[in-house]
Structure 1
Amino acid sequence: MSMRREAFLDHVQERGEYRTREEAERAARVVLALLGAHLVGTVRAELAARLPETYALILLNPLQAAEPLSPERFVRATAAWIEGATETTALWDIGAVLSTVAAAAGGILIRDVLLQLPPGYDLLFGHPQPT
């Protein structure tokens, strides 16, 4: 069962402490577009199925990444796509969106997602993996 769009944005807005809905919306779009470029196959499809349709489509039609970005470069790319963002605010945006995605997806699916990502993304999702 996918999360409703309003509920998803409520979570992002609350976790990101955004003043406006638009800020939460922009963060969600950018982070999911970048994340989608890193995921393939059934894992991406399953994750999309847990998200509201708007965001599922962004995840399934991502910006194509030439190579998987390290967590640091993912943060830099996010900052580049969000007007006026810094790496610090981008890290905040990513945390707000990916922790919401993790809550919608559940632990087992997020573990599968993390297996497709370079090391260190567990911290961006707020799910530190035992090393």
Structure 2
Amino acid sequence: MRYDEFLARVRERGEYDSQDEAAEVTEGVLSVLAQRISPGEVDDLGSQLPGPLGQTLAAAKPQQAESFGIEEFFRRVAEKTGARPRTAEWDASAVLTAVADAVSGGELNQVISQLPSGYAVLFGKADLAG
């Protein structure tokens, strides 16, 4: 998937006014996700995402993954994007379902397996991909 296609999906799912807004939200969500998964997984995920998305992940990559729940995830996304936590939930879902479309099922399972069960639904999955 190309970068512009990825942003178009995020824009459509999130009902954003522009590609720029979709790009801003995408950057915020991915930078928080990068803090939550292992550094090696950040690299693997980034290698399958289009254009500058891998660079966004790499720039946010911590020394080691932090452990925080879904509410904290939304709070951090809201802080990054300037949105309310409820809006951040919508934003996260718009971006992460596009991530699920853009990467292999194996890679998606690797990411989801590092997160508590409540995260899978943000990727549009009930659980690990089949």
> Which is further off, 59-68 or 27-36?
59-68
Instruction: Specify the alignment match of 1:109 in structure 2.
Output: 107
Superposition pairs of residues 1-131 of structure 1, within 5 angstroms: 3-62=1-60, 64=62, 67-83=66-82, 85-129=83-127
Query: Is the partner of 1:128 in helix, strand or coil?
Result: coil
Shift of 1:50: 1.4
**Alignment RMSD (CA, Å):** 1.9
Q: Can you give the 5+ residue segments of structure 2 that lack an aligned partner in the other structure?
A: none
Contact 1:71–1:124 (CA<8 Å) still a contact in 2?
Answer: no
Taking the aligned partners of 1:87 and 1:30, their CA distance within structure 2 comes to: 13
Unaligned runs of 5+ in 1: none
**Higher alpha-carbon deviation: 54-63 or 3-12:** 54-63
Question: What is the SS of the residue equivalent to 1:45?
Answer: helix
**More helix as a share of residues:** 2
Task: Give distance in 1, aligned partners of 2:43 and 2:65.
Answer: 20
Contact 1:99 1:125 survives alignment (8 Å): yes
Tell me the distance in 2 between the aligned counterparts of 1:45 and 1:112. Answer: 12
- The percentage of aligned residue pairs carrying the same residue is 36
| 2:38 partner letter | V
Q: Give how far 1:106 is off.
A: 2.9
Write the letter of the residue equivalent to 2:67: P
Q: TM-score when scaled to structure 1?
A: 0.86
Counterpart CA distance in 2 for 1:60 and 1:69 is 19
The higher-RCO structure (CA 8 Å, 6+ apart) is: 1
Structure 1 CA distance, aligned partners of 2:66 and 2:30?
16
Whole-angstrom CA distance in 2 between matches of 1:23 and 1:94: 13
Within 2, Cα distance between the matches of 1:24 and 1:14?
A: 9
